Structure formats: C-alpha cells, structure tokens
Amino acid sequence: MGGDRITKGLLFSSSLVLLLLSAGMIFTLASGAIPAFREFGGRFIFSSAWDPTPGKEQYGALAFIAGTMLTSLLALIICIPMAFSASLFVSEYYKGTRIASVLRSLVDLLAGVPSIVYGFWGFYTLRPLIMKTGLSDQGFGIFTASLILAIMIVPYATSLSSEIISMVSTEMKEAAYSLGATRREVIFNVVIPSAMSGIVASFILALGRALGETMAVTMLIGNANIIPKGLFSPGNTMASVIANQFGEADGLKMSALIAIGLILFAITALVNALGKVIIKRFA
C-alpha cells in the first residue's frame, strides 16, 4: 500500500504547487505595488498624471484604466454582432452540416493567430484604411486597437455561445414552429430567451480576454499617456503601458507599473468570475 500513499502524496503536492503559485503571485504583486500606493494613496487610481521626471515623479493609473475600459468595451460591442451571427450560423441555421463545421474551424483559427501577428497585420493593413477615412492622422488610436481586439475575441465568444445555443431544447423550438412561427421568430422568442444567460456569460468571458490583451493593442493604440478624448484619439491601456515602460523602469515607476498590473489582475479576475458565476447559475 506504500506505493499508493506515495502516488497520492505526489498528486496532492502538485496541487499545492498551484496553490502556492497563486498565493505567491498575489503576494508579489501586492508587495511590489506598496511603494506606489504608499506614495500616492488612493490618488493613484483616480489621477491621470504620468510624469517620470526625477524629483517630481507623479504616477496615476486613471488614464490607463480608462484606455483599457474603452478599448475592451468598444471591442466587445464590435464583437457582439459578429460572434452572434457566427453562433447562430453554426448552431441554428446550419447546425450539424459540413459548412457549419468549416465556419467553426475558421473562427477557431482566429484564436490561433498570435497576438503580435494581429498587431503587425493591423499596423500594415487596418491602420492605412483608417487613415484613408481621415478620422485619424496616424491611424493609431482607440478605434484601431478595438477593431483588432474585436477580431481577436470573436472565437472565444463564439465557441461558448454556439455551444449554449445548440443546447436549446428542440421540443420548445418545434412547439413554436407548430404554432406557425417563422425561424426568425423562433430565434427571438425561444432560442435567445432560453440561451440568454449563457450568451451574456460568453461575452463577459470574451471581455475578460480583451482586458489583458497586450501586444496587438500596444502596436495600434498610439501609446499616449492620456485619458483618450475620443474614439480616434491615441491612448494607452494598462497592459500596453506595462509592455512599453517596464523594461526601463525602476524605483517608484516600477512600483507604479506593478500596481497597474495588480489593478489589471483584479479587474480581469472579477470579470472572469462574473462570467463563470453566470454560467454556473443559469446555464
């Protein structure tokens, strides 16, 4: 029986690794963020100052929190019609057919493209298009970044919502058809209401993805440490400011960047938890 005990011990200790890892991460982020919070207190979250000049250093996260929220929410809004059509295509209109599985694989492929390739592609193809519209001189900014982000999160939203839509009971749909409903009416009166919570959860989880996306956004958002003034204004997100400035940072600035990391961690964890709770509760 000794072998059994060793195996079980081994399994348990590997699960401990996960526990220690998570605890260690939170502890490390929190302790790294202490100097910034001690220096600026609550102002750190509500100030948009970002001045690394030695002697009068001022750091605040508000501009980056705003940048992250704006890009992610806009990306979500752009993503909703795309993911919604793709899920209905796969799980309702062409359910079980070859064309549905082709579409599903194509959407899945979008999830496999590395973030840096999206950024690079966006830089050379999307940015010139946006410059042509005349809405932005350089083509960088919130809108460009959101557009790429939307494409990047579509597969995550689609895979979950199409799964939920395909689980809607056939009896209910057939009942509606037998009353003479058209397909559109069945979708709006039966499918969507019964799959609503799952669809919402899938979009919340996709939002969680968008919040932490780094490379593509860094390459397209224009990297200005200000609260974006409009959709075509440049900005910075929490992830992109870390990617841009962490390498040359030390002292208080390093701590400020770690504090931004901690805030980002908290926001994504909350958003993901919300998505998971909705799925567990209703779907």
The single-letter code of the amino acid at 176 is A
Quick one: 174 or 185, whose CB is closer to another protein? Answer: 185
| Touching another protein, residues 191-210 (CB under 8 A) | 208
Instruction: Candidates 42-50, 133-141, 195-203, 253-261: pick the segment binding another protein (CB under 8 A).
Output: 253-261
What distance in Å separates the CA atoms of residue 142 and residue 229, rounded to the nearest whole number?
10
Phi, psi for 51 (deg, rounded to 5): -130, 105
Query: What is the widest separation between alpha-carbon atoms in the chain?
Result: 76
Residue 184 binds another protein, judged by CB under 8 A? yes
H runs (alpha helix) in 113-169: 115-121, 127-133, 142-166
Which of 84, 140, 143, 203 binds another protein (CB under 8 A)? It is 84
User: Is 114 or 230 the residue whose CB approaches another protein more closely?
Assistant: 114
Q: Which residues does residue 51 pair with via DSSP β-bridges, in sequence order?
A: 58
Nearest approach, Cβ of residue 54 and another protein (Å): 22
- Tell which positions 99-158 bind another protein, by CB under 8 A: 103, 105-121, 123-125, 151, 154, 158
119 φ/ψ angles, rounded to the nearest 5 degrees: -60, -45
Given a contact cutoff of 8 angstroms between Cβ atoms, the answer to whether 167 and 245 are in contact is no
Which of the residues 217 through 246 are near another protein (CB under 8 A)? 218-219, 239, 242-243, 246
**97: contact with another protein by CB under 8 A:** no
Confirm or reject binding of residue 176 to another protein (CB under 8 A).
no
Residue 42 within binding range of another protein, rule CB under 8 A: no
Burial 78-108 (b: 16+ CB within 10 A, else e): bbbebbbebbbbbbbebeeeeebeebbeebe
Toward another protein, which CB reaches closer, 53 or 178?
A: 178
Binding of another protein at residue 37 (CB under 8 A)?
A: no
CB of 25 to another protein, least distance (A): 5
CB of 247 to another protein, least distance (A): 7
Residue 4 within binding range of another protein, rule CB under 8 A: yes
Residue 222 region by backbone torsions, left for phi larger than 0, else alpha for psi between -120 and 50, else beta = left
Least separation in angstroms between CB 111 and another protein: 8
In the complex, the smallest distance separating the C-beta of residue 229 from another protein, rounded to whole angstroms, is 25
Strand partners, 59: 50
By CB under 8 A, residue 213 contacts another protein: yes
Nearest-approach distance from CB 44 to another protein, in angstroms = 17
CA angle in degrees (0–180, nearest 5) for 136-141-146: 120
CB-based burial of residue 179 (10 Å sphere; 0-12 exposed, 13-18 middle, 19+ buried)? exposed
The answer to whether the beta carbons of residues 236 and 260 sit under 8 Å apart is: no
Give the N- to C-terminal CA distance of the chain in Å, as an integer.
42
Q: Is 272 in the site for another protein (CB under 8 A)?
A: yes
Q: Is 248 in the site for another protein (CB under 8 A)?
A: no
Q: How far is the CB of 243 from another protein (least distance, A)?
A: 6
